[in-house]
Structure 1
Amino acid sequence: MVLGRIVFASVLLGVGLAQAHDDGRYANSPLKPWFETLQSKGGGKCCANADGIALSDVDWDTKDGHYRVRLQGRWVDVPDDAVIKQPNLAGRTMVWPHYIDGRPIIRCFMPGTMI
């Protein structure tokens, strides 16, 4: 029973780590150091540009004073603590989701400059 729990916990930890990684494709980007500093209000690291998803204007908006994003064809509410408040040097709207049982959970969200 204990061994089963250890294996299960190891699998869960491995899945979480596999979802958040920098594969090196943005190693030479001048914004890489800035992306690596991004974190949500709750203190969670957003990871790097490689982990974020750039959104088109039609895939994010506000409803009842809160952001929401469209992922996998469904609208997902962005928790207020996940919104990055610092200036967006990338210019484009980005979201950093992770998935639990196939459902997206928003780790970080950065609205675009809207210019």
Structure 2
Amino acid sequence: MVALAAGEAVAHDHNHPELSDWFRSLHSKGDAWCCNGDDADMAEWDTMGGRYRVRIDGQWIDVPDDAVVEGPNRVGGARVWSWYQDGKPAVRCFLPGSMI
């Protein structure tokens, strides 16, 4: 099953400022602070072998278990906070969305 996001877009819609505090409160299971919605991207994602994975720069990247954000998703679609480690994309935080 695959959930698709339409293009890469900034995750936080500034027409909904009531979500700003919620975005700033997000932490992963590993207790990493996810920052705010401005540095997250809408994510194309799926599951394989019971684990999440996301597409970053055209590559499927496995989401580490401790990078998953637990709790309700108030924006619906998945969000990913990514970074580069040794020149390769990695996931700092991942907020699962609804499967479509």
TM-score, structure 2 length as denominator?
Answer: 0.80
- The size of the alignment, in residue pairs, is 88
Q: Share of identical aligned residues, percent?
A: 49
Superposed displacement of residue 110, structure 1? 0.7
User: What pairs with 1:1-115 in structure 2 (closer than 5 Å)?
Assistant: 26=14, 29-55=17-43, 59-114=44-99
Residue type of the alignment partner of 1:113: S
**Which residue matches 1:20?**
none
Higher relative contact order (CA 8 A, sep 6+): 2
Comparing both structures, which one devotes a greater share of its residues to helix?
1
- Structure 2: state its 5+ residue gaps: 1-12
Alpha-carbon distance between aligned partners in 2 of 1:63 and 1:113, rounded to the nearest angstrom: 16
1:45/1:88 Cα in 2 relative to 1: closer, same or farther (>3 Å)?
A: same
Alpha-carbon distance between aligned partners in 2 of 1:71 and 1:28, rounded to the nearest angstrom: 26
- Structure 1: state its 5+ residue gaps: 1-24
1:72/1:90 Cα in 2 relative to 1: closer, same or farther (>3 Å)?
A: same
Q: Who wins on radius of gyration, i.e. which is larger?
A: 1
Alpha-carbon distance between aligned partners in 2 of 1:28 and 1:67, rounded to the nearest angstrom: 28
Superposed displacement of residue 27, structure 1? 9.2
Q: Deviations over 1:52-107 (max 9, x none)?
A: 0012xxx2100110000111111100001111111000111110011123211111
